[in-house]
Amino acid sequence: MGSNIGFMLSLVFVVQVLLLSGDLVSIQAIYGHLDALSLSVNQMISRQGGITPRIEQYVETQEVEIYCIPEMCSTQFGETYEYKLVKTFTPLIMSKDEMKITIKRSVIIGYFN
């Protein structure tokens, strides 16, 4: 009888650990997706000279938001342009509120392969 109760109590902890690991795997997958998306966005920004409506539409199809960092929004040739990609995530157990996963990237205007 005592071992059954101990087994039941241990399952509660095992389920919580599984949910937490699911959250961590999801966050890592979202981060990888944002990183891959930033490569495409870097090329577009470098060629077009800044965040254009076309780039915003492309990013929105991926359910991601893009913002220019105010101090680094110069669109002159050869200048460094910095931006953020933000995706919201609803975790299973880490938090009751939505989390925002953000990456910050920079690109040089006019420099592309």
Report d(CA 17, CA 46) in Å as an integer. Answer: 43
* Domain ranges (residues) in the chain: 2-108
Percent of the chain with pLDDT over 70: 97
Residue 1 has pLDDT above 80, yes or no: no
> What is the model's pLDDT at position 99?
94
What mean pLDDT comes out for the span 90-100? Answer: 92
Q: Tell which wins on pLDDT, 1 or 91.
A: 91
Which of 44, 111, 54 has the alpha carbon at shortest distance from 78? 111
β-strands 99-108, 80-89 pairing:
antiparallel
